[in-house]
Chains A and B, each alone.
Chain A
Amino acid sequence: MPELVVRKKMTCIEEILHEGGAIAATPLRRAAVLTVIRNPFAGAYVPNIEGFMDDLKPLGLDMACTLVQALGGDANVVEGYGKGAIVGAAGEIEHGALWHVPGGYAMREVLGGAKAIVPSTKKVGGLGTRLDVPITHINASYVRSHFDAMEVGISDAPRADEILLALVMTTGPRVHARVGGLKASEVKGEDGLR
Protein backbone atom coordinates (compact mmCIF):
# COMPACT_ATOMS: atom_id res chain seq x y z
CA MET A 1 0.00 0.00 0.00
CA PRO A 2 1.06 3.64 -0.40
CA GLU A 3 3.59 5.31 1.83
CA LEU A 4 2.33 7.40 4.74
CA VAL A 5 3.59 10.97 4.30
CA VAL A 6 3.06 13.49 7.11
CA ARG A 7 3.24 17.23 6.39
CA LYS A 8 2.44 18.71 9.76
CA LYS A 9 1.10 18.08 13.22
CA MET A 10 -0.74 20.24 15.66
CA THR A 11 -1.57 19.77 19.32
CA CYS A 12 -4.18 21.90 21.10
CA ILE A 13 -4.95 21.81 24.79
CA GLU A 14 -7.80 23.69 26.40
CA GLU A 15 -8.03 24.14 30.13
CA ILE A 16 -11.46 25.31 31.24
CA LEU A 17 -11.71 26.86 34.69
CA HIS A 18 -15.34 28.00 34.61
CA GLU A 19 -18.12 29.11 32.32
CA GLY A 20 -19.95 31.61 34.48
CA GLY A 21 -20.34 29.32 37.51
CA ALA A 22 -17.96 28.38 40.30
CA ILE A 23 -14.29 27.93 39.41
CA ALA A 24 -13.62 24.21 39.06
CA ALA A 25 -11.38 22.65 41.70
CA THR A 26 -9.90 20.57 38.89
CA PRO A 27 -10.21 22.41 35.58
CA LEU A 28 -11.54 20.38 32.64
CA ARG A 29 -8.89 19.74 30.03
CA ARG A 30 -9.55 18.86 26.41
CA ALA A 31 -6.70 17.96 24.11
CA ALA A 32 -6.64 17.38 20.37
CA VAL A 33 -3.87 16.13 18.15
CA LEU A 34 -4.14 16.73 14.42
CA THR A 35 -1.98 15.22 11.70
CA VAL A 36 -2.00 16.30 8.07
CA ILE A 37 -1.10 13.47 5.70
CA ARG A 38 -0.98 13.08 1.95
CA ASN A 39 -4.11 11.39 0.61
CA PRO A 40 -2.73 8.56 -1.53
CA PHE A 41 -6.09 8.19 -3.29
CA ALA A 42 -6.67 11.85 -4.19
CA GLY A 43 -7.67 12.76 -7.71
CA ALA A 44 -9.21 9.49 -8.89
CA TYR A 45 -11.69 6.84 -7.82
CA VAL A 46 -9.70 3.99 -6.31
CA PRO A 47 -11.83 0.90 -5.65
CA ASN A 48 -9.60 -0.84 -3.15
CA ILE A 49 -8.53 1.42 -0.30
CA GLU A 50 -9.01 -0.76 2.77
CA GLY A 51 -5.37 -1.75 3.17
CA PHE A 52 -4.43 1.83 4.01
CA MET A 53 -6.10 1.38 7.41
CA ASP A 54 -3.22 -0.87 8.44
CA ASP A 55 -0.72 1.76 7.33
CA LEU A 56 -2.46 4.28 9.57
CA LYS A 57 -2.28 2.13 12.71
CA PRO A 58 1.21 3.24 13.86
CA LEU A 59 0.21 6.87 13.32
CA GLY A 60 -2.96 6.32 15.38
CA LEU A 61 -0.94 4.89 18.25
CA ASP A 62 1.59 7.69 18.05
CA MET A 63 -1.19 10.31 18.12
CA ALA A 64 -2.97 8.62 21.04
CA CYS A 65 0.30 8.56 23.01
CA THR A 66 0.89 12.22 22.17
CA LEU A 67 -2.53 13.06 23.60
CA VAL A 68 -1.88 11.21 26.85
CA GLN A 69 1.47 13.01 27.13
CA ALA A 70 -0.23 16.35 26.45
CA LEU A 71 -2.57 15.62 29.36
CA GLY A 72 0.33 14.91 31.71
CA GLY A 73 1.34 11.35 30.84
CA ASP A 74 -1.15 9.38 32.96
CA ALA A 75 -3.77 7.57 30.84
CA ASN A 76 -5.98 7.20 33.93
CA VAL A 77 -6.97 10.88 33.83
CA VAL A 78 -8.69 10.42 30.45
CA GLU A 79 -12.48 10.15 30.70
CA GLY A 80 -13.77 11.16 27.27
CA TYR A 81 -12.70 10.75 23.67
CA GLY A 82 -13.61 11.36 20.04
CA LYS A 83 -12.14 11.36 16.57
CA GLY A 84 -12.60 12.93 13.18
CA ALA A 85 -11.20 13.58 9.72
CA ILE A 86 -11.30 16.31 7.09
CA VAL A 87 -10.64 15.13 3.54
CA GLY A 88 -9.22 17.65 1.06
CA ALA A 89 -11.07 18.61 -2.12
CA ALA A 90 -9.49 15.97 -4.36
CA GLY A 91 -10.57 13.14 -2.07
CA GLU A 92 -13.87 11.57 -1.08
CA ILE A 93 -15.66 11.13 2.25
CA GLU A 94 -14.87 7.41 2.11
CA HIS A 95 -11.20 8.27 2.56
CA GLY A 96 -12.10 9.86 5.89
CA ALA A 97 -13.76 6.62 6.91
CA LEU A 98 -10.35 4.93 6.76
CA TRP A 99 -9.61 6.61 10.09
CA HIS A 100 -12.33 4.82 12.10
CA VAL A 101 -10.41 1.65 12.84
CA PRO A 102 -6.83 2.90 13.29
CA GLY A 103 -7.87 6.04 15.20
CA GLY A 104 -10.41 4.39 17.45
CA TYR A 105 -8.53 1.23 18.31
CA ALA A 106 -5.34 3.16 19.00
CA MET A 107 -7.02 5.26 21.67
CA ARG A 108 -8.75 2.26 23.24
CA GLU A 109 -5.43 0.42 23.37
CA VAL A 110 -3.52 3.31 24.89
CA LEU A 111 -6.30 3.84 27.44
CA GLY A 112 -6.17 0.22 28.55
CA GLY A 113 -9.17 -1.18 26.71
CA ALA A 114 -11.82 1.53 26.92
CA LYS A 115 -15.27 0.01 26.33
CA ALA A 116 -17.34 2.64 24.53
CA ILE A 117 -17.37 3.29 20.82
CA VAL A 118 -15.31 6.36 19.89
CA PRO A 119 -17.76 8.95 18.53
CA SER A 120 -16.67 10.45 15.24
CA THR A 121 -17.39 12.86 12.47
CA LYS A 122 -15.87 13.66 9.12
CA LYS A 123 -16.29 15.89 6.11
CA VAL A 124 -14.72 17.03 2.87
CA GLY A 125 -13.39 20.58 3.10
CA GLY A 126 -10.81 23.14 2.11
CA LEU A 127 -8.01 24.93 3.95
CA GLY A 128 -9.08 26.11 7.39
CA THR A 129 -12.19 23.93 7.57
CA ARG A 130 -13.29 23.49 11.17
CA LEU A 131 -14.49 20.18 12.53
CA ASP A 132 -16.61 19.75 15.66
CA VAL A 133 -15.27 16.50 17.04
CA PRO A 134 -17.89 14.77 19.23
CA ILE A 135 -16.80 13.47 22.63
CA THR A 136 -18.34 10.82 24.91
CA HIS A 137 -17.28 8.85 27.99
CA ILE A 138 -14.63 6.22 27.26
CA ASN A 139 -16.44 3.35 28.99
CA ALA A 140 -20.14 4.16 28.73
CA SER A 141 -21.57 6.19 25.84
CA TYR A 142 -24.66 7.21 27.82
CA VAL A 143 -22.85 9.19 30.51
CA ARG A 144 -24.59 12.51 29.96
CA SER A 145 -22.10 14.74 31.77
CA HIS A 146 -19.39 13.73 29.30
CA PHE A 147 -21.26 14.52 26.07
CA ASP A 148 -19.06 17.27 24.70
CA ALA A 149 -17.28 18.42 21.56
CA MET A 150 -14.08 20.19 20.62
CA GLU A 151 -13.68 22.35 17.57
CA VAL A 152 -10.44 21.76 15.68
CA GLY A 153 -8.82 22.89 12.45
CA ILE A 154 -5.63 24.21 10.90
CA SER A 155 -5.58 27.36 8.78
CA ASP A 156 -3.49 25.85 5.97
CA ALA A 157 -4.94 22.34 5.85
CA PRO A 158 -6.14 20.14 4.32
CA ARG A 159 -4.82 20.92 0.86
CA ALA A 160 -6.72 19.22 -1.96
CA ASP A 161 -4.55 16.10 -1.88
CA GLU A 162 -4.39 15.80 1.91
CA ILE A 163 -6.36 14.40 4.82
CA LEU A 164 -6.43 15.98 8.27
CA LEU A 165 -6.80 13.31 10.96
CA ALA A 166 -7.92 14.20 14.48
CA LEU A 167 -8.03 12.48 17.87
CA VAL A 168 -9.43 14.14 21.00
CA MET A 169 -9.34 13.25 24.70
CA THR A 170 -10.85 14.99 27.73
CA THR A 171 -10.28 14.66 31.46
CA GLY A 172 -13.83 14.94 32.76
CA PRO A 173 -17.40 16.19 32.46
CA ARG A 174 -18.47 19.55 31.07
CA VAL A 175 -17.32 22.18 33.52
CA HIS A 176 -20.79 22.90 34.94
CA ALA A 177 -22.58 19.62 33.99
CA ARG A 178 -26.07 19.54 35.53
CA VAL A 179 -28.61 18.00 33.19
CA GLY A 180 -28.94 14.62 34.90
CA GLY A 181 -28.77 11.25 33.14
CA LEU A 182 -26.37 8.41 33.76
CA LYS A 183 -23.48 9.51 35.98
CA ALA A 184 -19.85 8.48 35.57
CA SER A 185 -20.03 7.01 39.09
CA GLU A 186 -22.85 4.68 37.99
CA VAL A 187 -21.10 3.17 34.98
CA LYS A 188 -21.19 -0.63 34.87
CA GLY A 189 -18.68 -0.67 32.04
CA GLU A 190 -19.70 -3.96 30.50
CA ASP A 191 -21.36 -3.14 27.20
CA GLY A 192 -19.76 0.23 26.45
CA LEU A 193 -23.14 1.92 26.72
CA ARG A 194 -24.03 2.14 30.45
Chain B
Amino acid sequence: MKAKIRKIATFVEETQREMDREISPPTRKAAAVAVVENPCAGKYVEDLSELMAIGEELGELLTQRAVAALGIPGHSAESYGKSAAVGENGELEHAAAIRHPKLGTPVRRVLGKGAALIPSSKKRGGLGVVLDIPLGHKDAAFVRSHFDGMEVRLNDAPRANEIMVAVAVTDSGRPLPRVGGLKKNEIKGEDGLR
Protein backbone atom coordinates (compact mmCIF):
# COMPACT_ATOMS: atom_id res chain seq x y z
CA MET B 1 0.00 0.00 0.00
CA LYS B 2 1.30 3.44 -0.90
CA ALA B 3 -0.60 5.24 1.82
CA LYS B 4 1.23 5.41 5.16
CA ILE B 5 -1.72 5.24 7.50
CA ARG B 6 -1.34 6.33 11.12
CA LYS B 7 -4.91 5.73 12.15
CA ILE B 8 -8.36 4.97 10.85
CA ALA B 9 -11.59 5.96 12.59
CA THR B 10 -15.15 4.96 11.86
CA PHE B 11 -18.24 6.81 13.03
CA VAL B 12 -21.88 5.71 12.86
CA GLU B 13 -24.73 8.03 13.77
CA GLU B 14 -28.26 6.70 14.16
CA THR B 15 -31.15 9.11 14.73
CA GLN B 16 -34.18 7.54 16.37
CA ARG B 17 -36.20 10.63 17.34
CA GLU B 18 -36.36 14.24 16.20
CA MET B 19 -38.65 16.90 17.66
CA ASP B 20 -40.19 14.13 19.71
CA ARG B 21 -41.25 12.17 16.66
CA GLU B 22 -40.11 8.64 16.19
CA ILE B 23 -37.90 8.10 13.14
CA SER B 24 -38.74 4.64 11.87
CA PRO B 25 -36.58 3.19 10.53
CA PRO B 26 -33.87 5.36 12.09
CA THR B 27 -31.70 7.39 9.72
CA ARG B 28 -28.07 6.25 9.68
CA LYS B 29 -24.85 7.80 8.47
CA ALA B 30 -21.35 6.37 8.61
CA ALA B 31 -18.01 7.99 7.99
CA ALA B 32 -14.58 6.40 7.76
CA VAL B 33 -11.56 8.64 8.20
CA ALA B 34 -7.91 7.83 7.53
CA VAL B 35 -4.98 9.87 8.76
CA VAL B 36 -2.07 9.45 6.35
CA GLU B 37 1.38 10.89 5.88
CA ASN B 38 1.50 13.70 3.33
CA PRO B 39 4.50 12.86 1.11
CA CYS B 40 4.40 16.37 -0.37
CA ALA B 41 4.36 18.32 2.89
CA GLY B 42 6.81 21.12 3.51
CA LYS B 43 7.77 21.84 -0.09
CA TYR B 44 6.26 22.71 -3.43
CA VAL B 45 5.80 19.53 -5.45
CA GLU B 46 4.69 19.92 -9.06
CA ASP B 47 3.66 16.34 -9.76
CA LEU B 48 1.02 15.17 -7.31
CA SER B 49 0.52 11.69 -8.77
CA GLU B 50 1.71 10.05 -5.55
CA LEU B 51 -1.21 11.64 -3.73
CA MET B 52 -3.62 10.58 -6.46
CA ALA B 53 -2.51 6.96 -6.01
CA ILE B 54 -3.06 7.25 -2.27
CA GLY B 55 -6.54 8.60 -2.99
CA GLU B 56 -7.36 5.57 -5.09
CA GLU B 57 -6.39 3.21 -2.26
CA LEU B 58 -8.27 5.20 0.33
CA GLY B 59 -11.41 5.40 -1.80
CA GLU B 60 -11.75 1.65 -1.65
CA LEU B 61 -10.65 1.18 1.96
CA LEU B 62 -12.78 3.96 3.45
CA THR B 63 -15.92 3.10 1.49
CA GLN B 64 -15.62 -0.53 2.54
CA ARG B 65 -15.20 0.52 6.16
CA ALA B 66 -18.17 2.89 6.06
CA VAL B 67 -20.48 0.36 4.44
CA ALA B 68 -19.34 -2.34 6.87
CA ALA B 69 -20.05 0.01 9.76
CA LEU B 70 -23.63 0.39 8.51
CA GLY B 71 -23.88 -3.37 8.04
CA ILE B 72 -25.42 -3.00 4.57
CA PRO B 73 -24.43 -4.20 1.11
CA GLY B 74 -22.83 -1.41 -0.91
CA HIS B 75 -25.73 -1.14 -3.33
CA SER B 76 -28.11 -0.27 -0.46
CA ALA B 77 -26.26 2.97 0.27
CA GLU B 78 -28.34 6.04 -0.56
CA SER B 79 -26.08 9.05 -0.25
CA TYR B 80 -22.39 9.81 -0.04
CA GLY B 81 -19.79 12.49 0.39
CA LYS B 82 -16.07 13.00 0.87
CA SER B 83 -13.86 15.45 2.62
CA ALA B 84 -10.22 16.09 3.47
CA ALA B 85 -8.18 18.26 5.77
CA VAL B 86 -4.54 18.98 5.04
CA GLY B 87 -2.16 19.63 7.93
CA GLU B 88 -0.28 22.86 8.31
CA ASN B 89 2.71 21.96 6.09
CA GLY B 90 0.57 20.95 3.12
CA GLU B 91 -1.45 22.85 0.57
CA LEU B 92 -5.08 22.68 -0.41
CA GLU B 93 -4.06 21.24 -3.75
CA HIS B 94 -2.86 18.11 -1.93
CA ALA B 95 -6.41 17.51 -0.72
CA ALA B 96 -7.63 17.99 -4.26
CA ALA B 97 -5.05 15.50 -5.57
CA ILE B 98 -6.05 12.81 -3.09
CA ARG B 99 -9.72 13.23 -3.74
CA HIS B 100 -10.69 14.36 -7.18
CA PRO B 101 -8.77 12.38 -9.83
CA LYS B 102 -8.96 8.81 -8.54
CA LEU B 103 -10.81 8.42 -5.25
CA GLY B 104 -14.30 8.30 -6.75
CA THR B 105 -13.95 5.22 -8.97
CA PRO B 106 -13.34 2.73 -6.13
CA VAL B 107 -16.08 4.42 -4.07
CA ARG B 108 -18.54 3.72 -6.87
CA ARG B 109 -17.19 0.21 -7.36
CA VAL B 110 -17.87 -0.64 -3.71
CA LEU B 111 -21.34 0.90 -3.88
CA GLY B 112 -22.29 -0.79 -7.16
CA LYS B 113 -23.38 2.49 -8.70
CA GLY B 114 -23.07 6.21 -8.08
CA ALA B 115 -24.11 8.26 -11.06
CA ALA B 116 -24.03 11.51 -9.11
CA LEU B 117 -21.02 13.69 -8.38
CA ILE B 118 -19.62 12.88 -4.94
CA PRO B 119 -20.10 16.11 -3.00
CA SER B 120 -16.90 17.21 -1.29
CA SER B 121 -15.27 19.74 0.97
CA LYS B 122 -11.68 20.46 1.90
CA LYS B 123 -9.65 22.70 4.12
CA ARG B 124 -6.29 23.14 5.78
CA GLY B 125 -6.26 22.92 9.54
CA GLY B 126 -4.60 21.86 12.74
CA LEU B 127 -5.22 19.03 15.17
CA GLY B 128 -8.91 18.64 15.96
CA VAL B 129 -10.13 20.50 12.90
CA VAL B 130 -13.78 19.76 12.12
CA LEU B 131 -14.65 18.24 8.76
CA ASP B 132 -18.19 18.87 7.55
CA ILE B 133 -18.69 16.18 4.93
CA PRO B 134 -21.42 17.20 2.48
CA LEU B 135 -23.89 14.47 1.55
CA GLY B 136 -25.98 13.99 -1.57
CA HIS B 137 -27.91 11.11 -3.14
CA LYS B 138 -25.51 8.82 -4.95
CA ASP B 139 -27.56 8.37 -8.10
CA ALA B 140 -29.36 11.69 -8.43
CA ALA B 141 -27.84 14.84 -7.00
CA PHE B 142 -31.17 16.69 -7.00
CA VAL B 143 -32.90 14.42 -4.47
CA ARG B 144 -33.69 17.11 -1.90
CA SER B 145 -34.37 14.79 1.04
CA HIS B 146 -30.77 13.60 0.91
CA PHE B 147 -28.98 16.98 1.00
CA ASP B 148 -27.25 16.66 4.33
CA GLY B 149 -23.90 16.72 6.07
CA MET B 150 -21.95 14.82 8.67
CA GLU B 151 -19.43 16.29 11.04
CA VAL B 152 -16.32 14.33 11.96
CA ARG B 153 -13.32 15.27 14.03
CA LEU B 154 -10.26 13.58 15.50
CA ASN B 155 -8.62 15.45 18.33
CA ASP B 156 -5.09 14.37 17.31
CA ALA B 157 -5.21 14.92 13.55
CA PRO B 158 -4.06 16.16 11.15
CA ARG B 159 -0.52 16.77 12.31
CA ALA B 160 1.48 19.22 10.19
CA ASN B 161 2.72 16.55 7.77
CA GLU B 162 -0.51 14.58 7.55
CA ILE B 163 -3.74 14.55 5.58
CA MET B 164 -7.05 13.41 7.01
CA VAL B 165 -9.33 11.87 4.38
CA ALA B 166 -13.00 11.01 4.97
CA VAL B 167 -15.70 9.16 3.06
CA ALA B 168 -19.28 9.20 4.34
CA VAL B 169 -22.10 6.87 3.31
CA THR B 170 -25.72 6.72 4.48
CA ASP B 171 -28.66 4.39 4.14
CA SER B 172 -31.16 7.26 4.36
CA GLY B 173 -31.84 10.97 4.01
CA ARG B 174 -32.63 13.56 6.70
CA PRO B 175 -34.81 12.42 9.61
CA LEU B 176 -38.01 14.38 8.76
CA PRO B 177 -37.67 15.61 5.16
CA ARG B 178 -40.49 17.95 4.12
CA VAL B 179 -39.14 20.64 1.86
CA GLY B 180 -40.30 19.03 -1.37
CA GLY B 181 -38.16 18.60 -4.46
CA LEU B 182 -37.23 15.43 -6.29
CA LYS B 183 -38.02 12.30 -4.27
CA LYS B 184 -35.88 9.18 -4.25
CA ASN B 185 -38.69 7.08 -5.75
CA GLU B 186 -38.75 9.44 -8.76
CA ILE B 187 -35.08 8.98 -9.65
CA LYS B 188 -34.29 8.15 -13.25
CA GLY B 189 -30.62 7.65 -12.41
CA GLU B 190 -29.26 8.30 -15.88
CA ASP B 191 -27.46 11.60 -15.72
CA GLY B 192 -26.56 11.63 -12.04
CA LEU B 193 -28.74 14.65 -11.48
CA ARG B 194 -32.38 13.46 -11.53
Q: Mark A30-48, 1 if CB is under 8 A from B, else 0.
A: 0000000000000000000
Contact in complex: B17, A10 (CB < 8 Å): no
Kindly state whether residue A15 has any CB partner on chain B within 8 Å. Answer: yes
Q: Mark B12-33, 1 if CB is under 8 A from A, else 0.
A: 1111111000000010000000
Q: Contacts A8-B17, A155-B151 known; A16 to B7 CB distance under 8 Å?
A: yes
Partner pick for B17 among A7, A11, A14, CB 8 A cutoff: A7
**In whole angstroms, how far apart are the Cα atoms of A96 and B26 in the complex?**
26
What is the CB-to-nearest-CB distance from A185 to chain B, in angstroms, rounded to a whole number?
26
Q: Mark A1-29, 1 if CB is under 8 A from B, else 0.
A: 00001111111111111110000000000
The CB with the most chain A CB atoms within 10 A, among B6, B7, B11, B15, is that of B7
Kindly state whether residue A194 has any CB partner on chain B within 8 Å. Answer: no
Partner pick for B8 among A6, A8, A14, CB 8 A cutoff: A14
Contact in complex: B8, A15 (CB < 8 Å): yes
* B contact residues, range: 20 to 34
Instruction: Specify which chain B residues have a CB less than 8 angstroms from the CB of A5 in the assembled complex.
Output: 17
Contact in complex: A12, B14 (CB < 8 Å): no
Instruction: Specify which chain B residues have a CB less than 8 angstroms from the CB of A15 in the assembled complex.
Output: 7-9
Instruction: Specify which chain A residues have a CB less than 8 angstroms from the CB of B153 in the assembled complex.
Output: 153
Contact in complex: B17, A16 (CB < 8 Å): no
**In whole angstroms, how far apart are the Cα atoms of A7 and B155 in the complex?**
25
Partner pick for A11 among B5, B11, B16, B151, CB 8 A cutoff: B11
Kindly state whether residue B10 has any CB partner on chain A within 8 Å. Answer: yes
Instruction: Specify which chain B residues have a CB less than 8 angstroms from the CB of A130 in the assembled complex.
Output: 155
Instruction: Specify which chain A residues have a CB less than 8 angstroms from the CB of B18 in the assembled complex.
Output: 7
Instruction: Specify which chain A residues have a CB less than 8 angstroms from the CB of B130 in the assembled complex.
Output: 155
Kindly state whether residue A154 has any CB partner on chain B within 8 Å. Answer: yes
The CB with the most chain A CB atoms within 10 A, among B26, B154, B155, is that of B155
* A contact residues, range: 20 to 34
By secondary structure, the A interface counts as strand
What is the CB-to-nearest-CB distance from A130 to chain B, in angstroms, rounded to a whole number?
7
Contact in complex: B6, A8 (CB < 8 Å): no
Instruction: Specify which chain A residues have a CB less than 8 angstroms from the CB of B13 in the assembled complex.
Output: 8-10, 154
Partner pick for A6 among B11, B16, B151, B154, CB 8 A cutoff: B16
Kindly state whether residue B117 has any CB partner on chain A within 8 Å. Answer: no
Kindly state whether residue A190 has any CB partner on chain B within 8 Å. Answer: no
Kindly state whether residue B40 has any CB partner on chain A within 8 Å. Answer: no
- CB closest chain-A residue, reference B18: A7
Q: Mark A148-190, 1 if CB is under 8 A from B, else 0.
A: 0001011100000000000000000000000000000000000
- CB closest chain-B residue, reference A19: B6
Instruction: Specify which chain A residues have a CB less than 8 angstroms from the CB of B15 in the assembled complex.
Output: 7-8
- CB closest chain-A residue, reference B31: A12
Q: Contacts A8-B16, A130-B155, A151-B155 known; A17 to B11 CB distance under 8 Å?
A: no
What is the CB-to-nearest-CB distance from A171 to chain B, in angstroms, rounded to a whole number?
14
**In whole angstroms, how far apart are the Cα atoms of A162 and B145 in the complex?**
26
Partner pick for B5 among A8, A17, A151, A154, CB 8 A cutoff: A17
Q: Contacts A5-B17, A6-B17, A8-B17 known; A13 to B5 CB distance under 8 Å?
A: no
Q: List 9 A-B contacts (CB under 8 A).
A: A7-B15, A7-B16, A8-B16, A8-B17, A10-B12, A10-B13, A14-B8, A16-B6, A16-B7
